[in-house]
């Protein structure tokens, strides 16, 4: 970080407080989460959102090679003409969704 950003970050580390500006749609989502009764404060909503984001990022990092390999395999299959025809794709996806995990 450069200049004022670095000073701001240093202040956050010392004080443990950060002021953020959120968009109206973000504020709406926080309000919805609070109305659901699952959270007692906006801070709890933000904590949970950051926790979920961290878990997702960890999962993606741990599975990156496998995901990339599946994408490559899919592209290779498409290049060989082994893909599902566009007019059959919706029905195929519905069948996959209906199968138990």
80 domain residue, yes or no: yes
CB 11 within 8 A of CB 3: no
CA angle 91, 94, 98 (to 5 degrees): 140
Per the domain annotation, does 91 fall within a domain? yes
Domain membership of residue 33 (yes or no) is no
Is residue 82 one of the residues assigned to a domain? Answer: yes
Q: Is 12:18 a contact under the CB 8 Å cutoff?
A: yes
Q: How many structural domains compose the chain?
A: 1
In a domain, 32, yes or no: no
| Domain annotation covers residue 5 | no
pTM above 0.75, yes or no: no
Structural domain boundaries, residue 49: 41-101
List, for residues 58-91, the tens digit of each pLDDT value.
999 999 999 999 999 999 999 998 888 888 889 9
pLDDT at residue 1 greater than cutoff 50: no
Contacts for 27 with CB less than 8 Å, ≥ 6 apart: none
């Amino acid at each position: 970080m450069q200049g004022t950003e670095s000073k701001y970050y240093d202040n956050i580390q010392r004080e443990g407080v950060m002021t953020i500006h959120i968009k109206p749609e973000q504020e709406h989502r926080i309000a919805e989460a609070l109305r659901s009764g699952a959270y007692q404060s906006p801070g709890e909503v933000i904590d949970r959102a950051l926790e979920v984001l961290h878990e997702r990022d960890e999962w993606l990092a741990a599975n990156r090679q496998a995901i990339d390999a599946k994408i490559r395999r899919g592209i290779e299959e498409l290049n060989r003409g082994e893909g599902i025809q566009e007019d059959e794709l919706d029905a195929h996806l519905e069948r996959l969704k209906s199968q138990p995990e």
